[in-house]
A and B are shown apart, each in its own frame.
Chain A
Amino acid sequence: MRGRDLVRKELAELSASRAWWLLLIVVGLLTGQAFIGAVRTYAEMSAPAALAQGLSPLDGIVVPTLGAYDLAIMLLFPFVAIRLVANERATGALKIVLQWPVSRGGIVLAKLGALAIAWLISLVPFAIAIGLWAAYGGHLHGAELANVVAGYTLRFLLTAGLSMAAAALLPGAANAAVAVLAFTIGTWALDFVAAGRGGWIQQLATYTPAAVLRSFERGLFRVDVALVLCIVTIATLAVTAIAIDLGAGLRSRSLRIAVVCLVAIVAAVGAANIRTSFDLSENRRSSFAPAESRALAGIAEPLQLTVWLSPEDPRLMDLEANTLLKLRRTMRVHVAYPLAGRTALFDNDERYGTIEYRLGGRQAVNRSTTEAIVLETIFGLARVPVQPPEEARYPGYPLRAQPRGAGVVFYLVWPVCTLAIAWRRLWT
């Protein structure tokens, strides 16, 4: 049996599932709601000249519209993916499939292939939204659009792999669904706990699905993030293939799963050390100006920073999301967070709010988190001339358009067409 036939079989199973058709309808409605709201807000923000400058369709249209898919990946797709495995287990069909002249890896890959096709089909409402935006005269930047879609696709593949592994390991679809949702909630908790703590926990938190999407959503393609996601996804597929090996004893399967997890952890830790990243955003928001980047890259010594801010302090969040992110991409930086895990509200410590810099035996302290001051301090310590500020070259793309026709497409045409196809497939 060819792989193509196996994928077709899985697609037939997928299209026989009511959950899949419901997902398609819901994704269309959510995408429409997000897109229409985004276009209106964008139009409002395009009116004042001050706001319109630097207005980016990535932030204003693409990311909010894709937000619907974040919900779908978290709450809807797991059920569709779980069904593909759990249904065959429950009906006994898996025992038949396992006796076909196909490897278990082939069986799992066919399921993933069908789910990947399902993902592409579910992206049709997003493609329609982007088409409508272009028709309104909206600007799009190909690289940043492709990057953010790639990020969501990696996120989807991870969820698909996790869902299948859960369905293969646990008895019953309900248990698998609870396990996948628990994983999602666990990553939220990790995201929350790790903020501003530094160390391995903060690094681990950069690979949670939410953090991964944030990175892609700002137009940044981090090789380490993409690799870690791929490694974890492959590991979940391997776990699925092992878990459905009904002929192997529990001990043998557990041992093999443990080996897969160990190999995946080692590979992921190795991948996490790769610092290569590409700023694919049109406004280069994850990069310093070229002259500043060159000057920072020329500093040989590592920069040591001690940030005396509590994790909840918005100044720390701002520093992390902007200046530190850019610094980490440009030079070697070690950051210490002495107030990690504390509110520091009652400490009455004079050092609170300060940032200590150490570079090549020289030290400096100040309280500013703004990019210009941070860079000035670093250049001062490195005895490098301060780079003159460059003119912002990103013009911004204001557009005062109304979402004409979007309501009809997303609230009427999409659900009616999907229902009609679903009716034909399910009930005739």
Chain B
Amino acid sequence: MTAPLLTVEGLTADRGGRRILDDVSFSAARAGEILGVIGPNGAGKTTLFECVAGLQPVTRGTVAGVARFYMPDAVRPWPDQTVAWTLRLMAKVSGATMEWLPELDLERVARQRVSSLSKGETKRLNVALALLAPQPVLMLDEPFDGLDVRQTRKVMALLRRVQRTLIVSIHQLTDAAKICDRVLLLNEGRVVAAGTPGELGDLEELFLART
């Protein structure tokens, strides 16, 4: 049995005297696996991602495994540059190709400045930037937030097809049930449920019962 690509054990993080993450453990086992992190607002999803990516200090616990990349939610990186410039920059970092780019419908806005993009366009750009990252494990914060149904389906299909190990935080539980191989339910910084969508049953009911 091969070692998991990413193992998080006993991750605990405090901010301003408040415990944000409390003894969180999970692993991402194989390439192509999509692990969903769900939970109410303030549950600690973003803090979890930032701690795993090394962008926030950890009070206790370990993160081991391959390199990982985190794409934050609601960022507009380099707003004064064009979409094409931003994508080229990221491609230069990883040396990756962008054959999947047409699926994100970004050609139309390629010459536009990032600051002028709509929320959905920015979200698709951020997904593209994440997919261009060289790290084997990608963590996406709310990748479907702000996308219409058609775009959500397109992005979901693309994320499935690229065969990267993905950890995604999702608010839409129906989306989580559709795309995720496994789901972690986080509440007040603790993992309160974990398993495949089949094992966990109705995610909405689970969410309401455990949070």
Contacts and interface: CB of A to CB of B under 8 A. Distances in A.
Contacts of A390: none
A89 to B, nearest CB: 11
Contacts of B50: 95, 246
Interface string A245-259: 011111010000000
Interface string B69-86: 111101111111100010
Contacts of B53: 95, 99
B57 A92 contact: no
Contacts of B110: none
B85 A247 contact: no
8 contacts: A5-B92, A88-B78, A92-B77, A95-B53, A95-B72, A96-B77, A99-B69, A246-B55
Contacts of A101: 93, 134
A16 B81 CA distance: 7
A13 interface: yes
A423 to B, nearest CB: 15
Interface of A: 1, 5, 9, 12-13, 16-17, 88, 91-93, 95-96, 98-101, 246-250, 252
A16 B80 contact: yes
B85 A12 contact: yes
A91 B86 CA distance: 13
B77 A93 contact: yes
B56 A247 contact: yes
A254 to B, nearest CB: 12
B145 to A, nearest CB: 15
A332 to B, nearest CB: 52
Given A1-B92, A9-B89, A12-B85, A99 B135 contact: yes
Chain B contact residues, majority secondary structure: loop
A99 B133 contact: yes
Given A17-B80, A91-B76, A91-B78, A96 B129 contact: yes
Nearest to B92: A5
Given A93-B78, A101-B93, A101-B134, A248 B72 contact: no
Contacts of A95: 50, 53, 55, 70, 72, 75
Residue among B56, B80, B133 with the highest chain A CB neighbour number at 10 A: B80
A249 B129 CA distance: 28
A134 B51 CA distance: 60
B54 interface: yes
A-B complex: 6 closest residue pairs judged by Cβ atoms: A92-B75, A16-B80, A93-B77, A249-B57, A247-B54, A246-B55
Question: Which of the listed residues B74, B89, B133 has the most CB atoms from chain A within 10 Å of its own CB?
Answer: B89
A81 to B, nearest CB: 16
A1 B93 contact: yes
In the complex, which of the residues B56, B69, B78 has the most CB atoms of chain A within 10 Å of its own CB atom?
Answer: B78
